[in-house]
Each structure stands twice: as C-alpha cells, then as structure tokens.
Structure 1
Amino acid sequence: MLCKTGSRIIKLNEVTRLEETCSRLLSFCNSNVLKEGISVHSPIIKLGLHDNLFLNNNLLSLYAKCFGVHKARHFFDEMPYKDVVSWTGTLSAYVKAGNHNTALQIFDSMLVSGQCPNEFTLSSVLRSCSALGEFQYGACVQAYMIKQGFDQNPVLVSGLIDFYSKFDYTDEAYKLFNYVENHDKVSWTMMISSFVQDQRWNQALQLYVDMIEAGVPPNQFTFVKLLAACSVLGLHCGKLVHAHILLWGLKLNVVLKTALVDMYSRCQSMEDAVKVSNLTPEYDTLLYTAMISGLAHNFMFEKAIVAFREMRISEFVPNNFTFSSILNVSSLTFSLELGQQIHSRVVVAGLENDVSVGNALVNMYVKCSDNIGDALRVFRGISLPNVISWTSLIAGFAEHGFLLDSFHLFMEMRAAGVQPNSFTISGIIGSFNAAELLPQTLMLHGHAIKTNLYKDIVVQNALIDVYARLGMLDDAWQIVHMMSHRDAITYTSLASRMNQGGHHELVLSIFTDMYNDDIKIDAFSMAGFLSTSADLGTMVTGKQLHCHSVKSGLGKWISVANGLVDLYGKCGCISDAQRAFGEITVPDTFSWNGLISGLASNGYISSALSAFDDMKLAGVKPDPVTFLLVLSACNNGKLVDLGIEYFQSMRETYDIEPQMDHYVHLVDILGQGGRLEEAMEVIQTMPFRADALIYKTLLRACKAHRNIPLAEDMAKRGLQLDPSDPAFYILLANLYDDCGRHDLGEKTHKVMSEKRLRKSPSQSWVEIRNKVHLFVAGERLHPQINEIYKKLESLEAEFKNHRYHQGMGVGDSYYHSEKLALAFALLNTPSKTPIRIVKNSSICKDCHNFVKFVTHLIDKEIIVREGKRLHSFRKGECSCTGC
C-alpha cells in the first residue's frame, strides 16, 4: 500500500516537473517569439495537461505571436476553460492584427460569458474603438470602467487619453489627466503625445517640465514625442531636449536616433543629424528613411541618393516612405532617369499599388517627364487613389498646359466619390490664365461655396489671383473685403497681378492695406512693391521701401536686394544701383541681370558689357534674359558686329537656344545698323514662324533708313498676322511723310481711319509727394491743367527768346503727355530736385528736343523712361547715344 502511494507521489512529482518544464519552455519561447515552442503542445496533450489553464494561455499567446490570429482563435475555441487572460489574449491578437470589429465582438462575448475584463482587456477595447471611430462604444467602456472602480488605473487613464485624442478631444483628455492622481510615465507621455498630435507644441513642452517636477522620469517615447514638437518649435528647443536625453542617461537606441535625425533635419541642421546618426552603428529602415528624407528636405540631393545606395548595400529593405522620399529627390532635381530606376525597384518590391508611393510617382512623372501620359498610367495603377493622388495628377495636367483636361479630371474625381480639398480647388484655379476659362473658374468658385471650401484662405487667395490676372479687379477686391482674415499672400498676389496689368499707381496703396490689417511685410511682398516702384519710377516711395527693408532685416533677402538694384536702375540712379548690387554677398543671375539692365538703360553701354564679362568671371551662368539685355545694350550702342557675336555665342558657348525675343533683338540690331537685307534673311531663316512684332521691328528700321519697298512688304506681312495693330499704318504713313510722299501718307491714314483703328493714348506719370499723377495726351481734367498750359506757354516764349524754337513742332505735340507731366513737375518740385517721368510709349523727337531745351533754361536733371530705356537730360544734353 505504501509502495503504491509512493509510486503515485513519484509520478505526480514527475508530472509536476514536466509541467514546470513545459511552462518554462513556453515562457522562453513566448519571450523570444520562437515557433519551436509549439512542439510542446503535443507532450502537454499526452501528459494529460490539456486542461491546465496556465499552459493553455501560454500556448494561446505563442500561437497568436507565431502563427497569426486565426490559429490562435482555433486554439481558443477548443480550450476547455477560459479566464480573463484567455479572453484578453485573443482580443488583443485581433487588435494587433487590425481586425477591430471582431475584437469588439469577442469583448461582447466575454461579457456575456460572465467573465470580468481587466485593465488590459479594456485598454485593447479602447484601441479598437479609436480605430473604428466608435466614440459612443468607447464612452460606454469608460462608464463601465468607472462603475468597476478602474477610473484611477494608470493603464486605462493612458488608454482613455489616447482615445479622446484620436477624436480630437484633447481638452477632454487633459481634464481626465488632471482628474487622476499619481500618473506613471506612460500616462504623462500619452498626454504629451496628445498635445503634439493637436499641434499644441508649447503645451507639450510645458507638460514635460511638469512631469520632471512631479518626479516622474521620462522614457524614450516621451522624448520621441517631444522631438516631434521641437521640429516645429525650432533648433534651440531641439538641442535642449537632446541635452535632457543625455542628462537622463537614456541609451541612444535606433528609435531615439531616428527621432533626433528627423528633428535636426526639419530644423535645417543636417550636419547635426549626420553626427547623431553616426554616434552608434545601429541602423534600420526607419532611420535610413529619416536620413534620406532629411537630406532631400535640405536640398542635399546627391547625399540622399548615396544614403539610399548605402541602405541597399546594407540589405535594409526600403518601405513605402523610403521610396516616396527618394522619388521626391528625383522630382526636385527633375531627374527622369533616377525616377525611372526607383520606379523599377518599386515594382520589384510590390509597392506600385501603395497610395503614398503612387502619389510620389505621379508627382515625379509630372515634374520630370514631357509626356503627361506617364503620370496618368501610374495614377491608373493606384488601387485606391486618394485626394492627394487626384490633386497631383490634376496639377500635373495644368502645369503641362492641359487646362481643360485638368478640369475634366476634377469632374471625374468628384464622380469617383473623392472629395476635393482646398489644394485641389486652388491648384486648378491657379493654373487658369485665359479669359476663355472664366466659365470653369466660376463653376469652381460655386463648388467652393457649396462645399464650404470657400472659407479656406488658400482657395480665397487663388480666386483673388485668377480674377486679378483676368483683369477683373472689382471681383478680386470683393473677395478681399469678404475675407475674415487676410495674409501676406493675399496682398502680394493682388499687387503682383495689378503690377503685371499696368495698374502700378494702385499697387502701392496695398502697402497701406497690409499695414492696416497688421500683416507683416515679408520678402516676397517687399520685392513686389519694389518692382512696382521701379515700374512707376516712384523714387520717393522706393526709398521709403528701402528704409523699411533695412529696418526689418528684409534687405538681407536676395530677392529684396535684387529689387533694389532694379529700382535704382530704372529710376536713373545708377550709382545707387551699383551700391545695392555691391551689398549682395553672393549675386545670382537675377542680380547680374538687374545691374546689366540698369547700366544699359541709362546709356552706360560699355559698363553694361563689362558687367556681363564680370558675371562670367564670377562663375554665374548667363540665362536667356541676360542675352536679351546684352543684345539690347548692343542695339542702343549701335554695336552691330558685337551684337551678332553675342547672339551666336548663345548656342555655341552657353548651350542656350535663342528664342523669338532674341531674334527680334538681332533683327533690330541689324536693321538700325542699316543692314536691312541681313535682317530680312534672319527672319526668313530663323526656326520660328515670324510674328507681327518682328515685322514691326524691321519696319521701324526701314523708316529710319527710308527704305519704302521693304517697309511696304513688312507692313503687308505684319498686318496679315495682326490686322488690328495701328502701329503698322502709323510707321508706314510717317515714312511716306519723311520721304515727301504725303499723298501716300494721307492715303494710309485714311485706310487706318476706315478700319477704325486708333493709336493707344500716350500716357506719362510723375510722382510728387508720394502721389502718382497720370497724364494723357490732350489732358483737360487735371486740377492744375490751366497752370500747366500757362507753364508750357511761358516755356515756349522763353524758347523763342533764346531762339530754341527751330525744329520744334507745335500742334498735337504741344499737348503730348510727357510735356504735360514735365510742366506739372516744374510747378510742384523744388528747384534742385530731379524730375522723373515714366512714359508708356516712345518719346517723339519733338518732345525729346523740348526736354533738352528745358534743361538749357533750368539747372535741373530730368529723367524720362520709355519702356526699358532711360533718357537723362542735363544742361541741354541727353544720355542716349546720338542725341
């Protein structure tokens, strides 16, 4: 009997030892996620331990980790006994697998079974509620927590904070956080994360300070969230948080390294990002992706490509974000070859259907390929294109000039059930630049109002821009006045379009509007206002803007500095233009172009060409605009052979293909130099179809050299292309008159009259005491018009006394706009103050002589600008060549 009992005890001890062994094996395999642990399942059954709840729960966990939720569910269903651990393990497996609906069904079954959930069960349920958008279900779960006394449980408090944050109820999450006492590091970190997610960066940082004062040590995830906030708050905050990581002695693992690299790269401190990445040898896909993205964000494109190659060599598999980042590099560098190589790797990786990669591919082909069909093919391959996909494609079609197609894609997008956002609407509207697209613009305007996108400032600014571009200024201003708030883009865009439309005198009033709206003038706004002042020739206003740019620090921006060079050059203050240029640390192409333009337009031809040589010596490559300026300088200086040489060097030396404007300048150079046949040969052999402008240019040269046959041919050809341009008739009629063929001149004027063609009225304007005064030929409405005519009469009398009247015309020229502007300026400016007049057309010979004679009588500098050319009159002389 004793033997039998001892035998049973021995067997019992053996089973216990085996049970312990199985338990240890399962625990070890669970900790290390080893599939081999499942082999223990068989001996457990053989030993009759299949009813052991502890072993079964371990097996359940191992099945879920190694073989997925379906195997785990099968095992769970066969378990004879289940406790809260069993239910929670199965529910958690479904949550991790992203099958949240089933997770909630299991939770319901658990409650029906009478099993009471614990904090871990409820935490998983809250995650599913967040993922499914089930706020009411989550609220019921919270009520259950309170009823069961879980309201102070730190695990569930963290879960609830995350739950409320996911529904954008950050304030409610913070109230809950303040209600609970004795938070652990998880709940502190979760609340910091909520503030970061809600873009309340400063509050996130303050909460970290409170956490330290409460004596709760942060962990790596706390710092990951704080570093995300510092990416916005700036480099100083980022370095402080980095110092705290060192202070707390946290191990610099790959997670922290990735967060630090991301922060430094977003703060444009890529050197620090690289240093951090090299502190330890550990790398992973996410860290490489952060490096590639940061290098691309900081325009270090070659290094980004090198990092991608290193990643491949290190055998780390790129993910969708890696491919998106490197495709962004190819888009920014316009490298189609690189983009195609990455595309092939995307296909091999099986990510061509991924929406983020697909969006990056669409953007790459839009930017790099001349064939918009490449982008369309990629787009059609995206399984579920989102609003970004559609917006990228629509913008691409617009950029390639397929404006109606972009609008049709917009309609297709809506039909597909994808709702456009403000960037979709503003992108299409921003591309519309022709009056015939007004119906589509109005339709998009209406859609924006119906969908409430109209309240978005991005859409409002786009509408203002398109209406101003189409000359509908009243409509543009109506939107401005309706906006709840305006920004710098609102006014800068409006000013730019008004400037382009020739409404210069109205643009400067926008500066006052910005001041009244308390909107800070930025570099782009300042550059725009300087451009307006330059076009208007408003020197006083320009100097005020210059002072403002110095005081505000905007003068350091190269766009503002270039604007100052342009302003002073166009106002005839070439020494100030050179001084502004000299203050630019590293002049770019625009800087040099502004200097060359200013020198050439003020008659300093040799200095302008010397500046061009200096530009080349400085290593700055000329662009097509540079050559337009150089050719114009050669034309003004009558340097025919040098102009031809520069034209030929464009293609031969600089690989710049001459465009129509360059050919117009070449024809003008040859024509004004008397080489009319060569000019005609250029027109006949150029790779473009001749336009009306080039015929008009040669016609003007024919007039100068009194070549009637060629002039008649040019007029005929030009009128075939633009029959409504009166300039052909006027130039031809004047040529006939100059050659003594008054009969043909009268006949030409008669034909012009029969066709009801009229020359655009000549306009001149002058700035007096910060106000622009505009004059047209024959002006009668100006408040001082009587005084102006009396001044002109007194000047005429003075001319006669000094015998300056020979060669001066009377009649119509007596009322030309520049004469009226000059008389007005003489009446309203101090004796030594220079007068600056801007004219919208060429100054006639009579008015040119008139201004010269005025400076004989009055010791005053008078500057008249016609287009891009300036005439500086002083002591009876003009700066222009040959006067």
Structure 2
Amino acid sequence: MMLCSKTVPNSLSVCRFRETCLQLLSLCNSQSLKEGTCVHSPMIKAGLQHDLYLSNNLLSLYAKCFGVGPARHLFDEMPQKDVVSWTTLLSVHTRNKHHFEALELFDIMLGSGQYPNEFTLSSALRSCSALGQFDFGTQIHASAVKLGLEQNPVLGTTLVDLYTKCDCTVELYKLLAFVKDGDVVSWTTMISSLVETDKWTDALQLYFKMIEVGVYPNEFTFVKLLGMSSFLGLGMSCGKVLHAQLIRFGVEMNLVLKTAIVDMYTKCRQMEHAIKVSNQTPELDVCLWTTIIFGFVQNLQVREAVNALVDMKLSGILPNNFTYASLLNASSSILSLELGEQFHSQAIVVGLENDTYVGNALVDMYMKCSHNTTDGVKAFRGIASPNVISWTSLIAGFAEHGLEEESFQLFTEMQTAGVQPNSFTLSTVLGACSKMKSIIQTMKLHGHIIKTKADIDIAVGNALVDAYAGGGMAHEAWSVIGMMNHRDLVTYTSLAARLNQRGDHEMALKVITHMCNDEIKMDEFSLASLLSAATNLATMETGKQLHCHSVKSGFERCNSVSNSLVHLYSKCGSMGNAYKAFKNITEPDTVSWNGLISGLASNGHISDALSAFDDMRLAGVKPDSFTFLSLISACSQGSLMNLGLDYFYSMEETYHITPKLDHYVCLVDLLGRGGRLEEAMGVVETMPFRPDYVIYKTLLNACNLHGNVPLGEDMARRCLELDPSDPAVYLLLASLYDNAGLSDFSDKTRKLMRERGLKRSPRQCWMEIRSKIYLFDAREKIGKDEINEKLEYLITEIENRGYPYQENEDKLYHSEQLALAFGILSVPTMAPIRINKNSLICTHCHSFIMLVTQYVDREIIVRDRKRVHFIKGGQCSCRSHS
C-alpha cells in the first residue's frame, strides 16, 4: 500500500492516479485502515490537494482513524471546503463528545455561507441533546424547517432525541410528523429516546403506531421495549405481549435479544420463564449468565444463584465484576458473612477486589453482615476510585450500626474528596438525623439541599420531612411538604407515624385531609398508622370512617389494618365491634390475639380475656412478652392473685420468655393490690434489674390502698431520690397520711410540694362529637356559661336526692365533670357519652359520675390511662376505683 514519490504520475496520468487514490481511500474508509493516509503526500506532490472530492475522503479517513485533532488540522489546510467537509468535521467532534466545539463549528459554517444538510443538522442536534441546549436545538429545528428538511427521517429521530432529553413534552402527533415515511431505524431511535427519558407510555404508543403504519420492529426495537416493560405498572403482562409479538414477527433470537427477554422475566419474578428462554438457544455469554444470577438474587433464591455460578464456570465462561457484585448482594440479603467472604476470596483471585462495582458490593455486604465496621472500611479503602455509591454504602453502614456522628463525618469527608452526594446519600444522612433527633444537623443538611436544588427529588423531600417530624419540629415538616413539587404516599405515611410516636395524634389525623387534597390513596400501612392515631385519641367516629375506607379499598383483610381496628374499638370501649374485627382476620397472629386479650382486660372482661388466651394457645399461636403483660395486668384488676403468679412464673418455665422490668412492675402491682406488700418488696429487692421510679411508685400506690405508712414512706423517699420533681409522689404520700389519720403530715407534704414549685400535671379530657374533638381543662367555678350551669344543676340534684356528695377539696371543676356536662348537653340521648382522659380518673370524679347516673339514664364510658370504665345506673365496670 506504499506509494513511492519517484512514481508520481505526470500530467497525462493524473486522472488515473486520482482514481487509484480514490479506490484506496474508499477501501481504507470502509475498514478504518489508517494506512490509507499514505496517499496524502503523493496527492500534494501531484497537485491534487485542490480536488475537493478526494480531500473530503481523506478528511473522513483522518476523522475515523486519528480523531478530532488531526482531522481539524487537515480541514484547516484544505483550500476549498463544502458542506461535506464541514459535516465530516462536525460529526467527528460530536462522536468524540467535543460538543461545545461542535456547536462553535456549526456557527462558523453558517457564517461562511455554507448551507447545512440533514447530516450536518443531525450532528449539531446531537450535541445540543448532550449539552441540554434546548434553545439552540430549537433554532436548528427552525433552520431545518426553512431548508425544507423537517420531514427528513434522520432529522426526525435526532429532534425527538433532543426534545425528550431536554424534558420537553412533545405530543405524540408531533413525533409522528418527524417519522413520515421513516424506516425501522428511525422509529426505533425515537422509541429508544423516549425509553431513555422514562417516557414509557409514549414509547409504547409509538410502538403500536409503528406497527399500524406497516413498519415492523426488529430485535433492537424489542430490546428497548422489553427493558422498560417492568416500569409500566403492567408487570409481566406487558412483557409477555412483547415476547409473543417478537415471535409472531419472526424476529431472530440473537444473544442480545435473549438476554433482554430473560432480564424482563427476572424483574417480573418469573425465574421459571427466564430459565426456559435462556435454554431456547445454545448461545450463552457472561451478560446472560449474570442476568440469570441477578434474577435469582432479586427473588431471594440464593442457593439457585450459587448453583448458576457453578454452571457458568463449568460452561467455560468466567464471571465478571457485575457477576460478583450480584453474588455479594445475595450474601447481604441473607446476612451471610461466611458466604460473602467466599465470594470476596474469589474476586481477589481473579483480580477484581479493587473494582468499583465489586468494592461497593463488598462495603454493603460487610456493613450489613458484620458486627463491626472494620471490614467495611477496609473494603472501602481498597476501592481504586470510590464513587458516590461507595461513599453512600459506607455512610449507611455506619448509621445502621448506630454510629450516626461518624456517618456525618464521613459525609463531610465525601464532599471534601470532591464526590457530590446523590438523593440516596442525602436520604441516608437525613435518616441518621432522624434517629438522633438532631435538629441542628437536619437544618444544616436542609441548607445544603436547597443550595444544590436536591429538594426537587421526592426521596430527599420525604427524608427531610421524616427528620423534622422525628425531631419534634412538625411545623417545619409541614413547611417542607408545602414546598415539595410532588408528594406521595411515603410523604404522608412517615409523617403520620412520626406524629403518632410523639403523641401528636390529632395532628396525625389531619394528614387525611392533605392526602385527599393531593389525591393520594391510602395503603395498608398509612391506614394502620392513621387508625393508631384514632385509637390513641379514642375518636370513634373518625375510626369508623377509616374502617369503612379499609373495607371499600380491600385492606380490611390485611393483618396490620385488622389489628389496628381491634385496638381502636377496644380503646373506644366497643368490644362488640372489636371482636367482630378480630373474627374477620383470616389468620390471627400474636399481635391480633394480644390486641383482643388486652382489649378485653382493659374493658373489665377479665374472664373473657383469660379465656381468649386459652383459645390463642389452642390455635397454635405462641404468646410473647406483651401477652403476659396483659394477662398479669388482667389478674391484678380481677384480684386473681394466684393465677397471675402462675402466669408470671410460667413465662420462663413453659414459654422460655425472660421477664422484663415491665413484667416485674405488673407482678409488684398484683401482689400489692392483694395486700402482700412485704412479698412485693421482696420482688423489688431480688429482681435481676435495678429498681426504677415506676416500680417504687407502683408499690407506693399499693401502700396507699392498704394503709402501710412505714413502707409507703420508704417508697416515697426512693421515688424522690430518682425524680424529686414528680408531684404525683407528694400527692400519693399525702393521701396515705390522710387515710391513716395523720393530717399534720399530709399538710406538711402538700406544703413542701408547693414550696418546691411543683404542680400537678395538667389533667385533660377530650370528646369527639360529629368528627370534631373538644378539649376540657380543670378550671375554677366561675362564669355563667351553659356547661357551668349544667354542672351546678347536677350537683344540686345530687344534694336534693340525699346522695352523699362531698365537694372536692381544690374547689375546681375537674375536666371529667366539665366533659360530662358537655356530653349530656350535646350527645343524643340514646348514644353513650364517651370521655377520654390523659391520666387516671380521680376518686372524686369517679364517684361524681356514678352518682349522676343514678338519676340520669345515660351510659358514660370513660377511658383513662389504664382502663375503660362503663358507668350506668350508679355502677362501674371496674367494681371499685383503685
């Protein structure tokens, strides 16, 4: 292929020499052979450098073989240039991602007076797409229209690519205008552009239109469509239709297409179909094997994934970095450190331990499977070029190990290293803020998120809402929600859950209105969370509305929702409805039975609660620690001391459940109420836990019931050593002295409480009437409003009928009395009056309500902190008040 300078043709043979050069350049261009450039020097010697056709062919070869620099150098030396010359140079810039320079060349070309063709415009449009230069792209589009090229199929596909990648909504009929008389390549390119920008529905519509106009898809069309089928919300049905159509159109099953079909079935969790397709032809490569292994991992079939690796190696195909990354992810999914270490060893043997993908999977595996962070950090340090995923896995690992402060430090290190966080990184760090309830860190991150405009990502917005709500800043959480471009189910479900955790149940229920305004439908998790809020407020009407919604939406059969309904009706004192909700559960679990047992016990149905426990055992459902808390508490309420003791000691002996501190508190309460105070004190001193404030207070209450002053004084002293600021201890001790006839001591105790500036915590009652919550606080007996007048009337009636009513010592109307008067005035006569209280009902109010029901024919249901009181006809379901 060498041309000697001595054989340069004379003027008579120039034409023949030119033909030889053209043939040589054509051959080398077709095979990208750089040897063809040897004609460059003889061309100049023969004076052919002015031959534009020959020069353009030479320029094309330089562009293919040597890239941008040499091609540009030759272009600048060319004495003449036409549209082909400019297009060739522009194309090589675009292919090599020199997009800014490409657009500069396009401007220079237009300034030189040359008119672009469809290929020139196509290259310029591709550079606009890559740079997101939508305005420049529309100018080029306008130029195409002026030149009469708007219907050109080459330009049509590049225009679609521009508009879709620049996130410009293009109606389907406009897209179709671009591909008039287009071939399968044009249509497939357009479909590909839509798929790459997640416009899956538009891509599918374009596919159907393609078939309608008589252009039949090829294997590349189906590869693109199969890749998006799992995102359409149609699942396997869409993928199976595409699979059937490619068979119908007779598309050849090559390896790339087979891999796409297998990938589709694995994502739809149909591994049986995936394996069947993989066996249809004998061709297998590392991509297909890795797809199969990844599918098994996704479906948590780890044993099958390992077996596939063995078969892959036996077939002579070596795993690559993606294969090992998938297998390490499998180890993480089953938390098997041993399996992960085996794959780590294999990756080292083949020299992949420093690969970024493998390294990321190693960090994730060690952080999830190991008891410490040492191995995870070591794996991270071994990655040659840690990327954002590497850093995020490390940060998440530290947060999962409870090392939130260290995760914040790593986040700072990541930014110092020049790696910018993505939405997953920010969500992870915000999750750590939520765990720590660190408002300062949350606010710092919020500032960073606003600066980097990361708040447009819904996952980041949701994590920010969760962090603020978890830190007790509900107002800020609502503010973030208001600024979010989009909200979803996670936004409101996490907010409701956090508000519930912090006891702001009324605010949690307001989430329902916002969900309706955003047209977001509840799922079983959001329903359970909102039912929990209604349960804690004992708002029967709201709970029933949520119950109706659960039936209509089909979530009533979900255990989480059904269990919440059992709790709701139990707390509202409607055990009939609670039992119906329980009976509707197909397979009651431990939580279901616990809800029924505790509900029956708190509503005073002690024997039914104990019977439910027997039914639970017969059903084969194992009790847990909460079950026994409910049982021992029920025995305490029902004065069934011996049975309660049997339940306590059977926990470890029969059910192998180690009693916790809460169980010992219940045991002390059981013994104390039964008058076995010394035995209760023995439990306190010998239990395997350090006694806390609650257990001393429980025994103090028992001493008050049975008048044991010395032990009561000892318990009060111990309580005050642990918490000297609780007024309830002073009041219990004063009551103990009063009952023992030691009024001087009781007066001194109350005086000491006042001197220390301690006041009884505000006692509140609330009622729900016509879906509205009314709150009541204790107040002095002043004012002439309707509620006060009703109370004065009730008290007068009690006194006139000769009932033994004694004025309460603090001369205040208690919140229960105010709620009762309001209920008599507002609740329909046939409906029970439901009162909810944030503390135990006091003896005075309990007696008052019982006296009122002796001449007012109403059922009063009071739910206090401990139990539900059904009061009617002068009787209460609790049989006594203690």
TM-score (norm 2): 0.80
Whole-angstrom distance in 1 between the partners of 2:277 and 2:591: 38
Matched, 1:742 2:758: no
Match of 1:570 in 2: 571
Asked if 2 retains the 8 angstrom alpha-carbon contact of 1:164 and 1:173, the reply is no
SS at match of 1:432: helix
Q: Which residue of 2 aligns with 1:46?
A: none
Distance 1:503 1:284, change over 3 A: same
SS of equivalent to 1:857: coil
What is the CA-CA distance between 1:624 and the residue it aligns to?
Answer: 4.4
Alignment-derived partner of residue 513 in structure 1: 514
- One-letter amino acid of the counterpart of residue 760, structure 2: K
- Alignment partner, residue 529 of structure 1: 530
Equivalent AA in structure 2 for residue 510 of structure 1: V
Trace 1:606-617 onto structure 2 (pairs within 5 A): 606-615=607-616
**Unaligned runs of at least 5 residues, structure 1:** 1-50, 65-71, 95-101
Distance 1:366 1:455 in 2: 30
Counterpart of 2:209 in structure 1 is 210
The answer to whether the Cα contact below 8 Å between 1:161 and 1:194 also exists between their aligned partners in 2 is: no
C-alpha spacing 1:549/1:805, structure 2 compared with 1 (3 Å): same
Identify the residue that residue 192 of structure 1 maps to in structure 2. 191
- The match for 2:16 is none
Separation of aligned partners in 2, 1:760 and 1:834: 28
Q: Which moved more, 1:79-88 or 1:554-563?
A: 79-88
Q: Does 1:836 align with 2:800?
A: no
User: Is 1:479–2:443 an aligned residue pair?
Assistant: no
Query: The residue matched to 2:556 in structure 1 has which SS?
Result: helix
User: Secondary structure of the residue that 1:856 maps to in structure 2?
Assistant: coil
Q: Distance in 1 between matches of 2:375 and 2:810?
A: 61
Question: How far has the Cα of 1:141 moved from its partner?
Answer: 8.0
For 1:137, the aligned partner's letter is: A
The aligned counterpart of 1:855 is 853
Contact 1:61/1:89 (<8 A) preserved: no
CA distance, structure 2, for counterparts of residue 708 and residue 569 of structure 1: 37
The residue identity in structure 2 corresponding to 1:230 is S
SS at match of 2:725: coil
Q: 1:415 to 1:497 in 2, by over 3 A?
A: same
Distance 2:215 2:814 in 1: 83
Q: Distance in 1 between matches of 2:167 and 2:506?
A: 50
Amino acid at match of 2:99: E
| Corresponding residue SS for 1:863 | strand
Deviations 1:707-762 (A, max 9, x none): 33333333333333323222332222222222233333223223322222222111
Displacement of 1:194 in angstroms is 1.1
Query: Counterparts of 2:781 and 2:328 in 1: how far apart (Å)?
Result: 63
Moved more, 533-542 or 205-214: 205-214
| Cα contact 1:834–1:863 (8 A) shared by 2 | yes
Partner of 1:552: 553
Corresponding position: 1:377 with 2:378: yes
> Counterpart of 1:773?
774
Superposed CA RMSD in Å reads 4.4
* Shift of residue 377, structure 1, vs aligned partner: 2.7
1:24-103 to 2 correspondences below 5 Å: 103=67
Is the 2:164–2:170 Cα contact (8 Å) retained in structure 1?
no
Q: Distance in 1 between matches of 2:365 and 2:333?
A: 8
- Cα–Cα, structure 1 residues 798 and 716, in superposed 2: closer, same or farther, change >3 Å? same
Provide closer, same or farther for how the CA distance between residues 298 and 141 of structure 1 changes in structure 2, counting only shifts above 3 A: farther
Distance 1:321 1:586, change over 3 A: farther
2:265 is paired with a residue of what secondary structure?
helix
Tell me, yes or no, if the aligned pair for 1:504 and 1:535 is still in contact at 8 Å: yes
Selected match of 1:104 from 68, 93, 97: 68
Distance 1:843 1:215, change over 3 A: same
Could you list the runs of 5+ residues in structure 2 that have no partner in the other structure?
1-19, 44-53, 123-151
Amino acid at match of 1:750: K
Of 129-138 and 725-734, deviating more is: 129-138
1:664 corresponds in structure 2 to: 665
2:229 equivalent in structure 1: 230
Spell out, residue by residue over 1:168-209, the C-alpha distance to the aligned partner (whole angstroms, 9 max, x if none). Answer: 578799989954654333332222111101001011112212
More displaced 10-residue stretch of structure 1: 158-167 or 571-580: 158-167
In 1, the alpha carbon distance for the partners of 2:29 and 2:416 equals: 47
- Please say if 1:137 is aligned against 2:138: no
Structure 1, residues 276-309: CA drift from partner, whole Å, max 9, x if none?
4565565544334334434444455555555556
Residue equivalent to 1:714: 715
The match for 2:794 is: 795
Structure 1 Cα separation of the partners of residues 365 and 556 of structure 2: 35
Note if contact 1:158-1:190 (Cα within 8 Å) is conserved in structure 2: no
Q: Is the 8 A contact 1:151 1:157 kept in 2?
A: no
Amino acid at match of 2:102: Y
Following the alignment from structure 1 to structure 2, what is the Cα–Cα distance between the partners of residues 500 and 403?
Answer: 21
CA deviation map 1:554-611 (0-9, x unaligned): 4344433332222112111222122222323344444333333322322233433444
C-alpha distance in 2 between matches for 1:201 and 1:519: 22
Q: Distance in 2 between matches of 1:663 and 1:139?
A: 81
Q: Deviations over 1:645-682 (max 9, x none)?
A: 55555556666554443443344334434444554454
Name the CA distance, whole Å, in 1 between partners of 2:242 and 2:697. 68
Cα distance, 1:57 vs structure 2 = 11
Q: 1:876 aligns with which of 870, 874, 877?
A: 874
Give the conservation status (yes or no) of the 8 Å contact 1:363–1:393: yes
**Matched residue, 1:354:** 355
Match for residue 786 of structure 1?
Answer: 785
Equivalent residues of 1:856, 1:876 under 8 A apart: yes
Count of residues in correspondence between the two structures: 814
Q: Is the 8 A contact 2:388 2:420 kept in 1?
A: yes
State the distance in 2 between where 1:309 and 1:654 align.
44
Q: Give yes or no for contact 2:354–2:382 (8 Å, CA) kept in 1.
A: yes
- Are the equivalent residues in 2 in contact too, given 1:164–1:172 (CA < 8 A)? no
Aligned amino acid, residue 856 of structure 2 = I
1:799 and 1:853 in contact (8 A); partners too: yes
1:882 Cα deviation from its structure 2 partner: 5.5
Deviation per CA, 1:410-452: give whole Å up to 9, x if none.
2222211122234333332333358983322222222222222
C-alpha contact (below 8 Å) 2:227/2:260 kept by paired residues = yes
Distance 1:307 1:833, change over 3 A: farther
> Is the CA contact 1:813–1:847 (under 8 Å) kept in the aligned structure 2?
no
* Counterpart residue number, 1:762: 763
Q: Deviations over 1:23-73 (max 9, x none)?
A: xxxxxxxxxxxxxxxxxxxxxxxxxxxx999999999999x9xxxxxxx97
Question: Which shows bigger deviation, 830-839 or 373-382?
Answer: 373-382
In 1, are the aligned partners of 2:157 and 2:179 still within 8 Å (CA)?
Answer: no
Aligned match of 1:365: 366
Partners of 1:723 and 1:712 in 2: how far apart? 14
Deviation for aligned residue 1:317: 3.4
Taking a change above 3 Å as real, the CA distance of residues 450 and 859 of structure 1, as seen in their structure-2 partners, is same
Which stretch of structure 1 is more off in the superposition, 459-468 or 562-571? 459-468
The letter for the 2-side match of 1:777 is: A
When structure 1 is superposed on structure 2, of 462-471 and 816-825 the one drifting more is 462-471
Within 2, Cα distance between the matches of 1:678 and 1:75? 104
